[in-house]
Structure formats: C-alpha cells, structure tokens
C-alpha cells in the first residue's frame, strides 16, 4: 500500500492543476504580450537600427519561418499521436497564410498583385483575432511551464505573431499600401476560401473556419438557436465588417484629402 495514498493534496495545488487556461487569463495575456513585444522589437531593429532594404529577402525568410512552424506542428502530432489529426488540415482562416505568403514572397506579376491585398488583410486580421481571443489555441496547461505540454500553443502563438509581423512588414516596407479599391477582391477571395473550408468540413467532418459546429466561436449561439442559414449570414456580415478594418485608414485618408477640395470649390462658387 502506498503510504502517500491517504495524504491529502494541498487545496491550492489541486485547484491549480484542475484549472484550465481561459481567454484573458494569465496565460493568454502573457503569451500575447510577449508576441507583441517580439514583433515591435523586430520591426524596430529592421527599420530603425539596421535600416534593412532587402525587403524581398526578409519576406522570404519570414515565409519560410511560418512554413517551418507548421511543419513542426505536423511533426509533433505524428511523433506523439502516431497519426495526422484531421483538424490539422490547413483549411482554417489562418491556414491560408500558408498559401498567400509564399505567393507574395516568391512570385511576381499579376498573380502576386491579385493576392497581395488578401495576404495583408487576412494575415493582420486573423493573426490579431487569435492573439486577442485564443479560445482554441491555449492548450490544456494553466501556464506556459512545463514547456513540453505547451509545444503546440507556443507554435500557435508564434505562427499567428508571424502572420501579423508579415502584414506589418508589407506596410512599413511600402510593399503594399491598403486601398479600399482592393476590398471587393479581398472579400471575394475570402469567400472562395470559405467554400473550400465547407467542402473540407463536408468530407472530413471538421470545423474549418467555424463553418460547421462553430465550436469556440462567440457567435455559435446563432447556429444553435437560429439554424445554419442564419449563422452563415452572420458570418458573411461579420467577415465583411472585420475585413474592411485593415482598409479603414485608406477610407479615412481619402475622406480627409477630399474635404479641402470641397471647401475650395465652394469658395470659388
């Protein structure tokens, strides 16, 4: 008989082990703050300290780093589980950076020009959403230590931080300037991605882009209470509202720049 069997576990240790990480909890805040600091420091070093001009090379390196993170996640799953989980199929919203970033970094011409706005908007928006509301990527451990059980959450936070960094680098390096004229094709491309995600869900029973069960989506209640059609309508509207945010500065700038012209024309009249 184990002599420790009747020794009660201290209540604070018991609660700590049973408690799961939550959004806006210590684990979330610490992880997001560290990623934000890393992004800020890297941008400061590249644009202020070393005054980097090799933008094409930098974009390629960042893209390869993102692909490496994804491969590391797949390798971890194969090593620990012995199989490839279906929910790892790269058809989530954030997964589309795996396709968009290489197109922007390694191609030229019309194809790059077409997908560049989507790469910028999806990378910035989807990356920030997950860092601000990481409901599905925090893992099961309450804190960031021990490290081994947190390998996947660490990879996930680095992955989404890399998406944000890539978009900001496009902006600061003047590789891309957001304009509202790019919004329609960006939204259309996103809908195309959503169709691919729905096909994947139908085949594998997954929940890509929250378009099947909506688990982890704060708007899941619409699906549960009002049905799938209403849920898809809300998701389309939500996508349009959120996707326009990266282009909002362009809209404001155009409104500000057009205002003096209106005043001058009135004065002439």
- 155-190 confidence digits (pLDDT tens): 999 999 999 999 999 999 999 999 999 999 999 999
* Segments of the chain scoring below 70 in pLDDT: 1-20, 258-269
Q: Return the pLDDT at 2.
A: 47
DSSP-H helix ranges across the chain: 11-18, 26-44, 55-81, 97-106, 109-132, 151-172, 183-204, 220-226, 228-243, 248-268
pLDDT at 173 (0 to 100) = 96
**What does pTM read for this prediction?**
0.85
Q: Is-contact 139 149, C-beta < 8 A?
A: yes
Is the preceding peptide bond at 146 cis, omega within 30 degrees of 0?
yes
pLDDT of 253:
75
Distance CA 130, CA 16 (A): 25
- pLDDT for res 258: 66
pLDDT score of 256? 80
Rounded Cα distance, 101 and 190, in Å: 15
Q: Within its chain, how far is the Cα of 1 from the centroid?
A: 51
CA neighbor of 91 nearest in space, from 215, 238, 243, 207: 207
């Amino acid at each position: 008989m184990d002599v420790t069997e009747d020794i009660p576990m201290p209540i604070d240790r018991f609660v700590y082990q049973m408690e799961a990480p939550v959004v806006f909890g210590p684990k979330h805040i610490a992880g997001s703050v560290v990623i934000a600091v890393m992004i800020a420091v890297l941008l400061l070093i590249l644009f202020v300290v070393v005054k980097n001009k090799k933008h094409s090379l930098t974009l390629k390196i960042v893209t390869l780093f993102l692909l490496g993170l994804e491969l590391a996640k797949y390798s971890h799953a194969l090593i620990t589980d012995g199989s490839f989980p279906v929910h790892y199929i790269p058809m989530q919203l954030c997964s589309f950076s795996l396709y968009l970033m290489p197109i922007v970094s390694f191609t030229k011409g019309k194809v790059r020009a077409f997908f560049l706005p989507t790469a910028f908007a999806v990378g910035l928006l989807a990356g920030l959403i997950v860092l601000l509301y990481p409901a599905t990527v925090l893992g099961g451990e309450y804190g960031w230590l021990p490290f081994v059980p947190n390998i996947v959450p660490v990879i996930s936070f680095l992955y989404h931080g890399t998406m944000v960094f890539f978009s900001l680098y496009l902006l600061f390096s003047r590789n891309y300037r957001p304009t509202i004229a790019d919004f329609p094709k960006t939204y259309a491309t996103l809908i195309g991605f959503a169709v691919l995600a729905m096909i994947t869900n139908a085949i594998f029973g997954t929940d890509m882009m929250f378009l099947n069960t909506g688990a982890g989506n704060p708007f899941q209640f619409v699906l549960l209470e009002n049905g799938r059609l209403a849920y898809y309508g809300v998701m389309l509207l939500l996508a349009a509202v959120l996707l326009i945010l990266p282009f909002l500065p362009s809209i404001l700038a155009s409104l500000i720049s057009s205002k003096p012209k209106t005043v001058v024309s009135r004065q002439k009249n």
